Amino acid sequence: MVALSFALLIGVAVLTCLFMAWSLGANSNSPPFAPAVGANAIPTMRAAFLIGVFAALGAVAQGGSISETVGTHLIDGVRITPLAAIAGLLTAATFMALGVYSGYPIPAAFATTGAMVGAGLSLGGDPAFDTYRRLGTFWLAVPFMSGGIAYLTATLLRREDVPEAVGVPLLAAVVAGILANVRLGVVPGPDGQGSVTRYLSRLVGAPASGGVDLVAALVTFGVAVAAFVLLRRRMRRSVDAGIRSFLVVLGSIVAFSSGGSQVGLATGPLETLFRVELGLPGITLLVLGSTGILAGAWMGAPRLLQATSREYAQLGVRRSIAALVPGFIIAQVAIALGIPISFNNVIISGVIGGGLAAGTAGVSRRKIGITVAFWLFTLVSSVLVSYGLYRALTTLIGIP
């Protein structure tokens, strides 16, 4: 009887994880392709297909660090049980549904973090204050980082003394250089993950000079130059076609990054169950999450793309690029540090930063204020709701 009850709990927990991942795929991973759809660079259905593919690949290749943080580092002294994971995921999913209904985006990172803290406290765990300080510092810095990078990017694209056939390829070179140094689960490394540059450096075996890995630096430079040359050639034939091509590639890269940064919000609560109690490798959980993201993107992204692409069409192609570049950079920094982030927060801040370069943020101050209030409300109230929900479930089911 006990074994049957535990099996049922596992089944419900897995279904809840899949539902959360589906919601993330349908909502949180769509913005990267909205600019390309708004610029008529790619049809909506093809964009939804690519969102699902790249977000799912990113989830498997890069989702491990975020998943571990959400599942094991938010609470000290206890392990998250299947019932606590269910309470946390149900709470987070409810808040996301509230955001969709109200029209104000609820950051999944805030909702999931608060929900898992509440569930862990209800289990009798202790607050992980060091983790909270690290998360809080990064979250507070995100608007300034995203807005600042977007402002600089938009300023570069608006400079009359920098031709678009030079400015846009320069951005492509920066993105390509960073991408070559991104840590991936499919690339061998000392701790199971490695970057292309570091892997090639180990193969060559060249020693570092003055603390600088020369092989990694040369590979990074070579990849950046290749990206610059390819896009510049494309833009010499047609500036508009070149920019649209860059939008599609950039959208794919950002969708990949969003999958890696978002999947842990769905899989993190089940880290203890899968790795400790069931003894399954972490990749199993990431594949489960990526499956939900893939299904959510294919089923739910087209509708959201049609809505958000109108907003990006009003922003313009260049300002859209300025909003997406910081999304990629910040997502990769967050993944490297194991910090869950809200893509809504990053993209909205990028839109505002890019707008300031044109002399106007393009977003109403009232909506910004209400959105920030919603975010704070989400973080605090999700802790309370999850705490109460777990207590209610234990009383109803009678399983600790």
Two structure tokens written together for 168: 């846009």
Residue 5: inside a domain, yes or no? no
Query: Whose CA is closest to 289, among 25, 11, 2, 76?
Result: 25
pLDDT band per the 50, 70, 90 thresholds, residue 393: confident
Categorize the per-residue pLDDT at 198 as very low, low, confident or very high, splitting at 50, 70 and 90: confident
252-293 pLDDT, tens digit each: 998 899 888 888 898 988 888 888 777 788 788 889 999 999
Contact at 8 Å (CB) between 387 and 122?
yes
In a domain, 253, yes or no: yes
pLDDT at residue 192, rounded to an integer: 65
Report whether 28 contacts 344 (CB < 8 A).
yes
Q: How far is CA 208 from CA 193, 202, 216, in A?
A: 20, 11, 10
pLDDT of residue 347 exceeding 50, the answer is: yes
* 117 found inside a domain: no
Task: Please write the tens of the pLDDT for every residue from 143-177.
Answer: 889 888 888 888 888 777 778 888 889 999 999 99
How many domains does the chain divide into?
1
In this structure, is residue 380 part of a structural domain?
Answer: no
Per residue in 348-373, pLDDT (tens digit) is 777 777 777 666 555 566 766 776 78
**Stated pTM of the model:** 0.87
Q: Which domain holds residue 60?
A: 20-73+128-363
Q: CB of 282 within 8 A of CB of 274?
A: yes
Amino acid at 47: A
Is 90 part of any domain? no
Return phi, psi of residue 46, to 5°. Answer: -65, -40
- What mean pLDDT do residues 180-196 have? 78
Please indicate, yes or no, if residue 203 is contained in any of the structural domains. yes
Structural domain includes residue 36: yes
Q: Which band of pLDDT confidence, cut at 50, 70 and 90, is reported for residue 1? A: very low
Q: pLDDT tens-digit profile of 8-52? A: 888 888 888 888 888 888 777 777 787 777 767 788 888 888 888
